[in-house]
Structure 1
């Protein structure tokens, strides 16, 4: 007779499923470019548990339009209060990320339709971003940014002249803004350049804002095609 004894295997304690939720953005910024608000923020790289992000499903961007008031009052909005009042202006799915990514930063435009006169009396636009994983879970809103858009008439009659040493850019300043203030009160201009086939640049080629309606681009190559924008 053969008798065998089986040893009982030790069963580990059940573990809760891992939850991988991207950390909220902390570098959301906003600036006005003509009739658009440009929003930039970084692609999330870490989840709340420190693991690398691999399950980002979508990016939702919200905007809240408020009347201007004391800054300390405008800054006091919880995530819940903001989401209750704000409007989602765009939802970017994962398969659309490449359209909005410049390196590791998202660039999203919120176009202002001045023909609808949505900027009557110094309204404040408040923006925030929400990262969602594949289970529609989120770790909360990004930092909130506030900007007061103004109606701006863009520079007119842009021109470019190529010489041996530089590309001379010139334009005609607007006589006045769409706000009652005059064009003379505008601080300066920024010039942006990008090559054919590339996305528009986020960084101006002028090291400092330009006060005169002319600029010389000396860092160029004759064999390339460039696009310029002046704001």
Structure 2
């Protein structure tokens, strides 16, 4: 009886320790599909960007050389790669980019759009499928204007250019504009759209008034194609080739306009004599205040306001009976630039 029990015990131990788990299929080592493909058109080129996958569909690491296949399609919703644009190395987890030339498609004038996707292949040439698709509209691009220049004055920065004739209409309805963009020179800052104007041949200009003094700016003017639907909705837009930049040092050395309509009026009684001054307010955006000057007889003007007056008025209480005083006023901006003097105004103090 003991031998039989011993055998049964060994059988239980062997069953408990030796049972394997469920069999696993061999890994196909297929890179996960790209999910963040993006496309930007600039001129007659399209720039594709995406993140290369770093793992396979079964969450394993990518081994061996992987290849990114860029595919073009002229059919909506097509997933099969019938038109290969290029094969490029795929580095796991790295940002990837590819630039495609649209010139042959634009010259055909028969297509409204082209779609792209990216398929990442393993070292055996197999993939888990294409990425998300992106679509580019095939309207003609607007060339950058010529002779771009910048002129700084106290009213702002005026960007001028010589435009070219917009391209002829194609299969898609489009309108064309010139876009003025600004960035901070010497810094890795994003460009800001500061204005637009209809694209036409000949001279054009735009004045940027929304900037900060004492900064250095770079401006450029880009031709923009805006694709429209039949009912006028904007389907998409893109810039032409980037034009030349012009740099402006926005140093404010421009004084405000001189105050106008200065008037001087005597007021008061014997114990409180004064001359009240008023003038038309200055509308400069960076106005800091006003300086008031006075002279007596044929003497020189001397400033009598200890601080810049914040309002367009001033009361002079340091006056003497029987004397005549002549006044002038200047405007001062936030950087200390002082305007020309106003027209003088005179007033006498009674005996």
- The TM-score range, normalised by the shorter chain, is 0.5 to 0.7
190, 193, 211: which one pairs with 2:196? 211
RMSD: 4.6
1:90 corresponding residue in structure 2:
86
The C-alpha deviation readout for 1:176-221, integer Å capped at 9, x for no partner, is: 124359xx9225637598x99xxxx9x9612x484146697x79x9
Unaligned runs of 5+ in 2: 1-13, 198-204, 223-238, 240-351
Structure with larger RCO (C-alpha < 8 A, sep 6+): 1
1:3 corresponding residue in structure 2:
none
Alpha-carbon distance in 2 for matches of 1:135, 1:19: 10
- Structure with higher Rg: it is 2
Alpha-carbon distance in 2 for matches of 1:12, 1:65: 52
2:54 corresponding residue in structure 1:
45
1:31-42 to structure 2, matched below 5 A, reads 31-42=40-51
Unaligned runs of 5+ in 1: 1-7, 67-73, 98-102
The alignment covers a number of residue pairs equal to 193
The structure richer in strand per residue is: 2
Does the aligned pair in 1 maintain the 2:145–2:221 contact within 8 Å?
A: no
96, 106, 122: which one pairs with 1:106? 96
TM-score (norm 2): 0.42
Q: 1:192 to 1:131 in 2, by over 3 A?
A: farther
Q: 1:172 to 1:131 in 2, by over 3 A?
A: farther
Matched, 1:138 2:157: no
How much has 1:12 moved relative to structure 2? 6.0
Q: 1:107 to 1:16 in 2, by over 3 A?
A: same
Alpha-carbon distance in 2 for matches of 1:171, 1:209: 15
1:189 corresponding residue in structure 2:
179
1:63 corresponding residue in structure 2:
72
Q: 1:187 to 1:176 in 2, by over 3 A?
A: closer
How much has 1:93 moved relative to structure 2? 2.0
92, 108, 113: which one pairs with 1:124? 113
TM-score (norm 1): 0.59
